[in-house]
Amino acid sequence: MQKIPFNRPVVAGREIEHIREAIEGGQLAGDGRFTQLCEDMIAYWTGAQSAHLTHSCTAALEMAALLLDLKPNDEVIMPSFTFVSTANAVALRGATPVFVDIDPKTLNIDPEQVAAAMNEKTRSIWPVHYAGVVADMEAILALAAPREIMVVEDAAQAYGSYRDGRPAGSFGHMAAFSFHETKNVISGEGGVLVANDQNLTLRAEIIREKGTNRRQFFRGAVDKYSWVDIGSSFLPGELVAAFLYGQLEKVNEINQDRTESWNTYHAAFQAAESRGIARPYIDNRCSHNAHMYYLLFPDFDSRTEFIASMRTEDIVTPFHYVPLHSSPMGRRIARTNGELTVTEDISNRLVRLPLYPGMKPQIERIISTAMRNIERILR
């Protein structure tokens, strides 16, 4: 029986052709023609002042932390239910990640918990758009604005998602997207930082270019370039950008394919609710990109048995984040505000199903196998 992976990277369009063009063009280092094409397309979609392609979403978040000038004693509020890069970017500057609980329906950061965690040390709020569903940005911005607190969207999973007709990444002062091979639009590894504040654009260019004003030099704005700020090498190579551009050209088709599979899952698993299974909740203000389909089991043991049973039938269905506040580093360097009971509960019960473009021939096998195991485990 053929194994069904959790994810399978696919070539969606002219990626290989673009890579060949990049090689023939004679520039393989970053900031070439395809980098510019990607940045222009991303800035246009998000409506951002600028887009800065990076070698990962982790790098984009680290750039955001540098742009915020985070220092020791500063605090940044974020969900504990996220990937480690969200917290690492803050910790690398000596600042303190502050973990708060999530909303039990959307699994996004709970604005009420954000409000409870805020104090005189709060420098920034970093909401995460879990599963591509945009967080309640209106509430978060309303909390941040009176204190002039900067908001950075961790939109790693949300390229192509909207809230109230506005694209993910357009709400905060900055936003970071991922193009890792597990995301909707991919380049193997890759990311982008978008800036919605014009005052951040020039410094973002400098930080991304190792702290130099090299981009200004190539634009003819200065007669030579020099080291003018702190920074690092955040550029992706041009071959990565060429592949990404082929994906960006097909983003609507990619997300439509994923949405059709997501909808098939959602309809099929309505029957599992009678067994105590919960399906994703989608706020009607959001139009998501079908990044992920998950199920919530009644408890840890039934979730664990389900994953093991699916594995014996060659279908990969992983759980997701172990809460950062419970990790060794989280306990050592972060602050946890409140009990985070929702985060702990969700982490113990959530399982993700395979979802990638071109998987429709396998989806009925996944559904029938899953339903059979659900009925056996939860009978």
> In the chain, which residues fall in CATH 3.40.640.10?
15-248
What are 7-36's pLDDT values in tens digits?
999 999 999 999 999 999 999 999 999 999
The arithmetic mean of pLDDT across residues 336-361, rounded, is: 97
> In the chain, which residues fall in CATH 3.90.1150.10?
251-377
Give residue 214's pLDDT: 86
**CATH architecture designation of domain 15-248:** 3-Layer(aba) Sandwich (3.40)
What are 163-189's pLDDT values in tens digits?
999 999 999 999 999 999 999 999 999
What are 125-173's pLDDT values in tens digits?
999 999 999 999 999 999 999 999 999 999 999 999 999 999 999 999 9
Give residue 1's pLDDT: 76
DSSP letters of 135-153? Answer: P-HHHHHHHHGGGT-EEEE
Q: What percent of the chain is predicted at pLDDT more than 90?
A: 94
Judge whether 150 and 123 are in contact, CB under 8 Å: yes
Give residue 268's pLDDT: 98
The per-residue pLDDT of the chain, averaged, comes to: 97
Question: Measured between alpha carbons, how far is 213 from 26 in angstroms, rounded to an integer?
Answer: 23
The arithmetic mean of pLDDT across residues 333-351, rounded, is: 98
Give residue 221's pLDDT: 78
Give residue 216's pLDDT: 85
Judge whether 83 and 321 are in contact, CB under 8 Å: yes
The arithmetic mean of pLDDT across residues 305-323, rounded, is: 97
Give residue 63's pLDDT: 98
**CATH architecture designation of domain 251-377:** Alpha-Beta Complex (3.90)
Higher pLDDT: 220 or 282? It is 282
> What percent of the residues of the chain are helix, what percent strand, and what percent coil, each to the nearest 5?
45, 15, 40
Its pTM stands at 0.96
The arithmetic mean of pLDDT across residues 272-292, rounded, is: 95
Per DSSP, what are the bridge partners of residue 296?
278, 350
Q: Which helix (H) or strand (E) is 206 found in, with range?
A: helix 198-208
Give residue 222's pLDDT: 84
Higher pLDDT: 216 or 233? It is 233
Give residue 219's pLDDT: 79
Q: Strand, helix or coil at 267? A: helix
CA angle 266–258–11, rounded 5-degree value: 155
The arithmetic mean of pLDDT across residues 253-261, rounded, is: 98
Sign of the Cα torsion 213, 214, 215, 218 reads positive
Task: Say whether pLDDT at 96 is over 90.
Answer: yes
What are 220-236's pLDDT values in tens digits?
778 888 999 999 999 99
Task: Say whether pLDDT at 371 is over 90.
Answer: yes
Give residue 224's pLDDT: 87
pLDDT band at 322 (very low <50, low <70, confident <90, very high): very high
